[in-house]
A and B are shown apart, each in its own frame.
Chain A
Amino acid sequence: MITKALTIALAYLQTITRNRSFLFQMIVIPLLLTFIIGQAIGGGADELPDPNTKWRMVIANEDTGSLATQLVEYLQSTPRLEVQLVDRAAANAAVASADTGVIGALIIPADFSTKFASDQAVTLDYASFVASVESQYLEQSVDTALGQLSHSLNAADVSADVADELGLFATSDNPTTAQQTYRDDAVERALTAWETNPPVVVEAEQASFQQSDDGVPRGLNQTSPGLLVMFAFFFTIGGGSSLIQERTIGTLQRLMVMPMRKSTILFGKLLGIYIGCLIQIGILVLAGAFLFNVDWGNSPIAMLVFIPVFALNATSLSIMLAALVQTDAQLNSVSTIVVMALAALGGAWWPIEIVPEWMQQLGHALPSAWAMDGFNDIITRGLGLEAVLFEIGVLMAFTVGFFIIGIWRFRYE
C-alpha cells in the first residue's frame, strides 16, 4: 500500500516538475515579490553589514545618578555596539552627517535618574542621521536597556516597600534617608542579579535582529511569511485541481480498476501534494534567506516543526475544496477567492494587528491567521517552539476537520 501510494505521490511530483508555468507561479512569482518588496522597503542584501562589524554610538550623559551610569554600562555591554561618551554638542554633531560613521546619538538628561526612579515621564533623546536597520537596532538596544533598568527598579521598589511596612525605617533617625539608602542598595543588588542571570526572554529579544518592539511585523518580516502562506495555499489547491482533472480525464477511474484501495489512491495524491508543498516552502525559505537576506527568526527547530504542520493544513484544505466543487473550472475560480480571503483576513498581506478587532476575530476563524500568528511569533518576536504550540494545536484541529470533510465528500466518479 505504501509503495503504491509513494509511486502515486512521486508521479504527481514528476508531473508538476514538467509543468513550467505552475512552477513559475508557485516559486518564481513569490520570490520575485519578495525581491520587489525587499527593494521597496530597503531590506536589500548590500545594506546589511557583516555580523562582526560594530556600530558606533555616542552618548552624552548629563546625569550623575547611578541609574544613568547603569544605562550606559548596559549599552556598553550590548553586542555590536561601540559606545563612546561625549558631550551634548559632540553628540549632536556626530549624527549631523553620515561621514562621522556614527549610527546614533543618545542624550541622557540630567534629571534622568531621579525621574526614572520615581516613575515620572522622562525623555531620552535618540537621534540618528538616517533611519536604517542599524539605527533601528540601536534604538531597540536603548529600549531594552531601559526595560532592564525598570525591571530592576520595580524589584527594588517592592523590596523597599516591604521593608517600610515592616517598620525597618521607622527606628532610624532619618527614616527617609534610610529608606533611600535601602532602596539604592536594593536597586544595586537587583541590577547585579540581572547582569549575572538575566531573564531569558530579554536575551532572545536582543538576539533578534529586525525585531520590532511592539511585536507587530514590519517589512520583509511581514511579507515573507505572508507570501509563503499565500503561495502554499495556491500550491496545494493546484494539487486539488489536479485531482479533479484526473477524474475528468479518467486516470482516477483507471487507478480504481487496479488492485488497490481507494484510500491508497487518495493518500498517494495527498502525499504528493504535501511533499510538493514542503519542497516549495523549503525553496522559498532558503532562497529568501540566501538571496534576499530574509530573516526567518532564531529558532530553526520551531520552523522545522511549524512548517510541516502548516503544509499539512494547506494540504487538507486542498482536498476539502476539491470535494466541495464539481469541476476543475469551479475550483479555479473558487481557489482565487479562497486564497485571497485567507491571505487578506489571515494577515498575510498586512499585519493582522492593524485591522479592527472584529476583522481579527474573523481572520482567526481561518487557518491562515493562525499560521501567520505562528510565523510572526517565530520570525518577528524571535520566539521558539513553545511559543507556537497553541497555534500548532489550532492548525491541527483545522487540518483534521478539513480532512474529514474532504475525504468524506470527495467523489471518485
Chain B
Amino acid sequence: MSPIVQVEHLGKQYNAPNGPMAVKDVSFEIQKGEIFSLLGPNGAGKTTTISMLSCLLQPTSGTILIDGHSVTKEPKQVKQVIGVVPQDIALYPTMTAQENLLFWGKMYGLSGKHLQDRISKVLTIADLADRANDKVETFSGGMKRRINIAVGLLHDPKVVYFDEPTVGIDPQSRRRILDSIKQLNTHGISVLYTTHYMEEAQELSHKIGIIDHGELIAVGSQEQLTQLVGQHDLVQFEIDPTAANLDATLSALKVINDVDQVTSSPEENLITVQTRNTNAILPQLISQMTETGTPIKSLTIKAPNLESVFLHLTGRALRD
C-alpha cells in the first residue's frame, strides 16, 4: 500500500536567495489510516510545511506526493484529496455557520442534495447542528475552531491537515476536537496534525515527527522516540516566582553527578532536570535548591516522554 503522504527532501526558503530557510531537508511518510503529528515549538516550520503540502506555497526543493499526485504538477487532484484546517479561523464572521458551509462546499464544487447531506454530516461532527443558523461572530473561540474544522471535512477528504487546531481554547473544546479527530480516523481518514503540545501528540498519534528550526530531528512511534532518550527521567520542580537567585541554582544543579540537562522556564516557574539516576540524586537536588535560595513548591518525576526526547535532542524545553 502506497503512503497517502510522501515528503522527500522538502525545503523552503522565504524571500530567496537571502531569506531564512524555514524548512530544511524534511522527509517523512504518512501511511493510509495513520495519524501523524508534527511536534515543534513556535517558528519550527510546521505551518510552512503544511502550506507546501496544501499547494499554497511552492517548495524551494524536494518533492511532495499526496495519494500519488505531485503537489506541484497536479494541484487539482491533490486539492480534491486533502482537507485543510488552517491555524487561523478562516471563516466569514457575519455569515452563519450554515452559510459558511454552503459557501465553502460550493467552492469545493459540491452542490444540491449531496452538499446538504455533507453539511449536516460535518455539523454533527462539529457538534454544532443546533447553532447552524447563528452567525459565526457570535460563537465562542472553541465553536469557531470546530466550524473551521468542519469546513475542511466538507468534501470528504482522504487526508486532513490540522494546523494547531487547539490553540487558545478551553479544555472542553479541546477535548471535543481531539475526540472528533480520533473519530474521523476510525473512519479511515488519515491525519497530519501539528502542535506544540506534547500531550496532544502523545494522545493522538501513531507516528510523530519532531521538528525544530525547520529540521525534522526525529521521526517514529512514541516508543521508538522515547527509546532515544534511554532511561532518563525528568524531574520537574515548581518554584516560587520570587526565587532570589535562579542562575546560582541552575549552576549548582548542573554540577551534580548524573545530571544530564537542566532547563528552566521562568514564565511557568519550572526547573526541569534530566537524569538517569533519579532516586540517587533527588536528595542532593533538593538540598542544592534550598541552599541557593530557591524554595520548592512542588515536584514531579516523569518517565521518559516526548518532552524529554525534545530536551534530549535539542537541549531546550519544548515550551520556551
* Interface residues, chain A, with chain B CB atoms under 8 Å away: 3-4, 7-8, 11, 14-15, 18-19, 249-251, 253-260, 413
A250 and B89 contact, Cβ closer than 8 Å, known pairs A257-B82, A259-B80, A260-B107: yes
Chain A proximity of B110: nearest CB distance (Å)? 11
- CB-CB nearest 5 A-B residue pairs: A250-B90, A254-B90, A250-B88, A259-B79, A18-B94
Docked Cα-Cα span, A392 to B254, in Å, equals: 79
- B195 at the A interface (CB under 8 A): no
Contacting pair B103 A7 (CB below 8 A): yes
* Interface residues, chain B, with chain A CB atoms under 8 Å away: 51, 54-57, 76, 79-80, 82, 84, 86-92, 94-95, 99, 103-104, 106-109, 151
Q: CB-CB < 8 A to A7: which residues of B?
A: 103, 106-107
Contacting pair B151 A254 (CB below 8 A): yes
Contacting pair A249 B89 (CB below 8 A): yes
Contacting pair A251 B91 (CB below 8 A): yes
Chain B proximity of A254: nearest CB distance (Å)? 4
Docked Cα-Cα span, A384 to B54, in Å, equals: 53
Contacting pair A15 B54 (CB below 8 A): no
Docked Cα-Cα span, A204 to B147, in Å, equals: 61
Closest to B87 in A: A250
Contacting pair B57 A250 (CB below 8 A): no
Docked Cα-Cα span, A200 to B106, in Å, equals: 54
Q: CB-CB < 8 A to A260: which residues of B?
A: 107
Q: CB-CB < 8 A to A255: which residues of B?
A: 107
12 contacts between A and B (CB under 8 A): A3-B106, A4-B106, A14-B95, A249-B90, A250-B88, A253-B51, A254-B84, A255-B107, A256-B55, A257-B79, A259-B79, A413-B57
Docked Cα-Cα span, A255 to B79, in Å, equals: 11
Contacting pair A4 B107 (CB below 8 A): yes
Closest to B86 in A: A250
Chain B proximity of A252: nearest CB distance (Å)? 8
Contacting pair B88 A249 (CB below 8 A): yes
Closest to A254 in B: B90
Contacting pair A259 B76 (CB below 8 A): yes
Contacting pair A259 B108 (CB below 8 A): yes
Select A15's contact among B51, B89, B95, beta carbons within 8 Å: B95
Docked Cα-Cα span, A8 to B92, in Å, equals: 12
Contacting pair B107 A14 (CB below 8 A): no
Docked Cα-Cα span, A15 to B91, in Å, equals: 12
Select A254's contact among B55, B94, B104, beta carbons within 8 Å: B104
